[in-house]
């Protein structure tokens, strides 16, 4: 699905079956203040970013950030499931108000607005059992005989396409899909942001260790929100991100989230910084 243009009153989207028109939901700030709730899109089962615990409550550092924004706005936080391949459309349509953990590509900036950066992380890789990569440089994967998996819309997608374009690329819908493909032997390597890679290894320790891709080509992550004519909500998110990054809150939230799933500071590769 590809964005063609944005109009003042309508959002114009193109799919394989034609053009869909959706009414502009108006000011995000006014919507949040009038409903007294902040609805955040989250990716399910994506530790340590976002997941549900045994009680059905959302956990993870993306969830923590959304809750803190809601607290500062004096509104209630709510969460709705989305995915990297659909979250831009969910923001555009007003299904949710924000999403934490976006790579702010120029193409996405045509469709939605951003605040940040929140943090910067490199990329990690997991390999199928019994397979040894020729190396952990991106160029080492630039071979049609190497099957590399990424989840659609994840920031690893553009890195693989740019730095290992000759690899056999397998695009799947989610992190879990790539892990299952890896365990089934249908792909050789799965690449994600370093935290996503570590979260996947925690759930599937037989896939370890995590290989850090080099050069790091670390990409900053942002909060995403819908483009509107008001811009007040984006400005608030920008000030919020600057404040919480400068005083160390975001680093602490990341550290606490990985710790909550059993990943200690010693488990984090030494060249990984938030």
pLDDT per residue rounded down to tens, the chain (274 residues): 333 333 333 333 433 333 344 456 689 999 999 999 999 999 998 888 999 999 999 999 999 999 999 999 999 999 999 998 899 999 999 999 999 988 888 889 999 999 999 998 889 999 999 999 999 999 999 999 999 999 988 889 989 999 999 999 999 988 899 999 999 999 999 999 888 898 898 888 888 788 999 988 888 899 999 999 999 999 999 999 999 999 999 989 988 888 887 877 677 766 666 5
pLDDT at 189 (0 to 100): 97
pLDDT at 265 (0 to 100): 67
Does residue 234 share a domain with residue 115? yes
Does residue 99 share a domain with residue 131? no
pLDDT at 245 (0 to 100): 96
Contact between 48 and 257 under an 8 Å Cβ cutoff? The reply is yes
In the chain, the DSSP E strands lie at: 2-6, 10-15, 18-23, 37-42, 51-52, 58-59, 76-81, 98-103, 112-121, 123-127, 147-151, 168-172, 189-193, 211-212, 219-226
Does residue 227 share a domain with residue 107? yes
Phi/psi of residue 132, nearest 5 degrees: -115, 120
The H or E element spanning position 163 is helix 155-163
Does residue 137 share a domain with residue 116? no
Does residue 89 share a domain with residue 132? no
Three-class secondary structure of residue 202 per DSSP: helix
Q: Classify residue 107: in a domain, yes or no.
A: yes
Q: Is the pTM of this model over 0.85?
A: no
Does residue 139 share a domain with residue 92? no
Distance separating alpha carbons of residues 15 and 23, to the nearest angstrom:
17
Q: Where does a domain end: 169, 186, 212?
A: 212
Measure CA 35 to chain center.
Answer: 26
pLDDT at 117 (0 to 100): 95
Domains contained in the chain, number: 2
Does residue 183 share a domain with residue 133? yes
Does residue 226 share a domain with residue 201? no
Does residue 192 share a domain with residue 129? yes
Distance separating alpha carbons of residues 45 and 43, to the nearest angstrom:
7
SS (H, E, C) 22-68: EECCCCHHHHHHHHCEEEEEECCCECCCEEECCCCCEECHHHHHHHH
Nearest to 59 by CA among 83, 76, 79: 79
pLDDT at 25 (0 to 100): 67
Does residue 84 share a domain with residue 169? no
Q: Classify residue 97: in a domain, yes or no.
A: yes
Does residue 128 share a domain with residue 114? no
Q: Which domain holds residue 142?
A: 123-212
Q: Classify residue 30: in a domain, yes or no.
A: yes
pLDDT at 87 (0 to 100): 95
Does residue 190 share a domain with residue 136? yes
The domain that holds 51 is classified in CATH as: 3.40.190.10
The distance in angstroms from the start CA to the end CA of the chain is: 32
Q: Classify residue 18: in a domain, yes or no.
A: no
Q: Return all residues near 256 (Cβ < 8 A) that are at least 6 apart.
A: 61, 64
Strand partners, 79: 40
Measure CA 63 to chain center.
Answer: 12
């Amino acid at each position: 699905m590809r964005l063609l243009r944005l109009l003042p009153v309508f959002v114009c989207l193109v799919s394989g079956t034609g053009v869909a028109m959706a009414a502009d939901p108006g000011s995000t700030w006014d919507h949040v203040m009038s409903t007294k709730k902040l609805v955040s899109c989250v990716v399910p089962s994506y530790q340590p970013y976002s997941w549900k615990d045994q009680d059905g409550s959302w956990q993870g550092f993306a969830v923590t950030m959304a809750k803190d924004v809601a607290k500062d706005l004096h509104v209630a936080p709510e969460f709705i499931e989305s995915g990297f391949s659909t979250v831009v459309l969910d923001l555009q349509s007003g299904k949710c108000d924000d999403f934490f953990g976006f790579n702010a590509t120029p193409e996405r900036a045509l469709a939605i607005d951003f605040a940040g950066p929140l943090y910067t992380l490199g990329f990690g890789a997991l390999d199928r059992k019994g397979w040894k990569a020729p190396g952990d440089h991106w160029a080492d994967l630039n071979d049609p005989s190497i099957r590399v998996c990424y989840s659609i819309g994840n920031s690893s997608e553009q890195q693989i396409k740019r730095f290992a374009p000759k690899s056999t690329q397998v695009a799947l819908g989610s992190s879990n899909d790539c892990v299952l493909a890896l365990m089934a032997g249908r792909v050789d390597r799965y690449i994600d942001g370093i935290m996503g890679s570590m979260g996947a290894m925690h759930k599937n320790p037989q896939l370890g260790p995590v290989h850090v891709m080099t050069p790091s080509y670390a990409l900053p992550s942002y909060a995403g929100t819908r483009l509107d004519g008001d811009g007040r909500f984006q400005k608030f998110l920008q000030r919020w991100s600057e404040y919480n990054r400068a005083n160390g809150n975001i680093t602490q939230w990341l550290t606490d989230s990985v710790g909550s799933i059993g990943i200690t500071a010693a488990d984090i590769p030494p060249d990984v910084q938030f």
